[in-house]
Amino acid sequence: MHESLLFRPGSALLQVGLLLAAFVILPGCSRQSVPPHPLTVVAAELDAAVAAAGQGGSTDRIRELLAHELPDVRAMAAQAAAAAGAWECMPALIELIEDEEHAVAARAAAACATLLGMDHGHDTKASADERAKIKQSIRQAYETMNKNPPPQYRK
More confident residue, 54 or 91: 91
> What would the pLDDT profile of 106-116 be if each residue is shown by its tens digit?
999 999 999 99
CB of 80 within 8 A of CB of 50? yes
pLDDT of residue 20: 58
CB of 117 within 8 A of CB of 125? no
CB of 39 within 8 A of CB of 76? yes
Determine the 3-state secondary structure of 125 from DSSP. Answer: coil
Whether 131 has a pLDDT exceeding 80, the answer reads yes
Average pLDDT over residues 29-41: 70
- Residue 80 pLDDT level (bands cut at 50, 70, 90): very high
CA separation, residue 133 to residues 97, 104, 110, 145 (Å): 11, 18, 16, 18
pLDDT of residue 82: 93
Whether 44 has a pLDDT exceeding 90, the answer reads no
pLDDT of residue 69: 93
Average pLDDT, the chain: 81
Average pLDDT over residues 39-52: 82
Q: Closest Cα to residue 103, out of 83, 122, 120, 124?
A: 124
Backbone φ and ψ for 9, nearest 5 degrees, come out as -55, 130
Which residues 6+ apart lie within 8 Å of 75 measured at CB?
101, 103, 104, 107
pLDDT of residue 9: 56
Average pLDDT over residues 117-128: 83
